[in-house]
A = this chain, B = another copy of it.
Amino acid sequence: MKKVKLNGSAAEVESAFYDALNRGDVEALMKLWADDDEIVCIHPGGPRLHGHIAIQSSWEAILRKGGLQVRPSRLYEAHNLMSAVHTVVEGTTGIDPSGPTGKEPAHLLASNVYLKTPQGWRMVLHHVSVAPGPAPSAMPAASSLH
């Protein structure tokens, strides 16, 4: 796979990741991952996928009908010189599988981890889960950040 060298920051990789998701651009999405068999992607309620082939296949299936409407907000970040560990709220959903009717309000939480590699900053982990209730509002809402 042709790789682009990303000289920017982890924040720029994250921005490019969500841009690619919103456009439904799997090729652009996959170029942001580290060249490492131990990269991992866990979609909401899904199994662990590792390596480029499995992860790319999953995104092709998810994005077959077009891009997602995902606007990350409420970032927390722990980092050092060679790594950035982000968690964001990816948005709300009406499907909380653990709720009594399965249709309670819920929100999606994503952990995105970026490492500095010889090719620049790259994603090594994308782990998303469903959390109960509406998205937390203690920080500015997504709409005010975009």
Binding site for B on A (CB under 8 A): 34, 36, 38-40, 42, 44-48, 50, 76-83, 85, 87, 89, 97-98, 109, 111, 113, 115-117, 124-125, 127-133, 136
Q: Could you tell me if B42 and A109 are in contact, using CB atoms closer than 8 angstroms?
A: yes
Q: Could you tell me if B136 and A113 are in contact, using CB atoms closer than 8 angstroms?
A: no
User: Counting chain B CB atoms within 10 Å of each CB, which of A78, A97, A127 scores highest?
Assistant: A78
Q: Given the known A-B contacts A78-B115, A111-B111, are A42 and B129 also in contact in the complex, defined by CB atoms under 8 Å?
A: yes
Q: Given the known A-B contacts A78-B34, A78-B124, are A129 and B40 also in contact in the complex, defined by CB atoms under 8 Å?
A: no
Q: Given the known A-B contacts A39-B78, A97-B97, are A113 and B125 also in contact in the complex, defined by CB atoms under 8 Å?
A: yes
Q: Could you tell me if B48 and A87 are in contact, using CB atoms closer than 8 angstroms?
A: yes
Contacts of A34 in B (CB 8 A): 78
Contact residue among B39, B47, B76, B83 (Cβ-Cβ distance under 8 Å from A38):
B76
Contact residue among B77, B115, B133 (Cβ-Cβ distance under 8 Å from A83):
B115
